[in-house]
Copies of this chain bind each other. A is one copy, B any other.
Amino acid sequence: MDAERTEIGTIGEFGLIAEITKDIKLQSPRTVVGVGDDAAVLAATEEGKRTVVSTDLLCEGVHFNLMYSPLKHLGYKAIVVNLSDICAMNARPTQVVVGLALSNRFSVEATKELYSGIRLACERYKVDLVGGDTTSSQSGLMISVTALGEVSEHSTCLRSGAKPGELLVASGELGSAFMGLQVLEREKHVFEEAPGAQPDLSGYEVLLERQLKPEARVDIVEELEKLEIVPTSMIDISDGLASEALHIAASSGCGVRIYEEKIPMNDQMYETARAFNLDPTLCTLSGGEDYELLFTVPQERFEDIRNHPMFSIVGHMTDDPEERKLITRNGMEAELKAQGWDSFNEEG
């Protein structure tokens, strides 16, 4: 895995922690004490500001495959997927704590590589790494991240605030991360059947970047603030557009209609899906790992959104909670179904 290899046992748990935390720079004025004590200490929130908290667990063999996820990318992604949850509340991420369980396959160098990605994401998003736990595992790598963020009371977006008639809006483009994973899986199979074969990844850069190094849409949270738009509901798209739209609909007691022709996709995703014999629309609906934001706004905000390059109006909410429809390009109505990733079923 690396040229130099230092066993973690030779420097011990405290030595490893010292090694991986020595370069941490705190950025938030609210962070009073970061790593190194029993707990991190954060100054009181500003008046009117709430704290949001989200946690995720990433497990080797379930959420990532070390065969094609470089450790630095993996560390970066582990942070980003949590920040995305914070963004989904219309909040700004402020701090993270990270738990790592490492098997003895991992060297000190590999752990530092993983941490370099964690730190890079923290720097990129101006988030403080304020605590953690590092331990051994009997098998496999596990990364647990808990992220904190701040949002004013007025701006807080839950999943449950959508109302009938409101516009359903997605940021960015969908389906690329999923197609990136398909490309990586294909190359893995090629490699397994002919070890030594060089992976053929050219032409798939956008897709691979979206899969291996996704970004959290803090910029969307900032843009919404600039536009003085507080979405009535919001969620991040981690399990595919269909699953997330259904979450908003169910939480809000509304129906939902999505228009196939309005779903944002880029050419590389579209072409690759066709070449892989996959339906591009299905990739956006069920693919997942986009980490874009999906939100609802009142119809009055139509003009602010319709030509904005960051946003696509993909559908609208309806008053019948039983209605969950995809309107296809040829005008047919199909039932919108969540076929998002479910780790327990995949495993079973």
Chain A: interface size category: 35 or more
Report if A86-B39 is in contact (Cβ < 8 Å); known contacts: A51-B51, A56-B99, A344-B8: yes
In the complex formed, the residue of B with least CB distance to A63 is B135
Q: Which B residue's beta carbon lies closest to that of A134?
A: B57
Task: Indicate whether A148 reaches chain B with its CB closer than 8 angstroms.
Answer: yes
Does A347 contact B136, Cβ atoms closer than 8 Å?
yes
Q: Across the interface, name the chain B residue whose C-beta is closest to A347.
A: B136
The one of B139, B236, B348 in contact with A38, judged by C-beta atoms closer than 8 angstroms, is: B236
Q: Most B CB atoms within 10 A — which of A55, A139, A148, A347?
A: A55
Residues 141-158 of chain A, each 1 if its beta carbon lies under 8 Å from chain B, else 0: 010101111010100101
**Which A residues between 25 and 68 are near B, CB-CB below 8 angstroms?**
32-33, 36-57, 59-63
Least CB separation from A56: chain B residue: B133
Please tell me if the beta carbons of A91 and B13 are within 8 angstroms of each other in the complex: no
* A39 surroundings in chain B (CB, below 8 A): 52-54, 85-86, 88-89, 91, 147, 149
Chain B residues, CB < 8 A from A208: none
**A345 CB within 8 Å of chain B:** yes
Q: How far is B62's CA from A142's CA once the two chains are assembled, in angstroms?
A: 14
Docked Cα-Cα span, A166 to B151, in Å, equals 42
Partner of A148, one of B53, B91, B104: B53
Q: Is A136 within 8 A of B344, CB to CB? A: yes
Which of A54, A144, A345 has its CB near the most chain B CB atoms (within 10 A)?
Answer: A144
A–B complex contacts, Cβ < 8 Å, 19 sampled: A12-B344, A13-B343, A13-B345, A36-B159, A37-B251, A38-B235, A40-B53, A54-B97, A56-B133, A57-B101, A59-B136, A63-B135, A135-B343, A136-B344, A137-B142, A138-B140, A144-B144, A144-B146, A146-B146
Is A89 within 8 A of B41, CB to CB? yes
* A127 / chain B contacts, CB cutoff of 8 Å: none
Contact A40 B54, CB 8 Å, known A136-B59, A140-B137, A140-B138: yes
> Closest Cβ of chain B: how far from A233's Cβ, in Å?
10
A231 within 8 A of B: no
Q: Specify the chain B residue showing the minimal Cβ separation from A45.
A: B44
Closest to A238 in B: B38
Instruction: Evaluate whether A135 and B38 lie within 8 angstroms (CB atoms) in the complex, with A57-B101, A146-B55 already known.
Output: no
A85 to B59: give the CA distance in the assembly, Å. Answer: 25
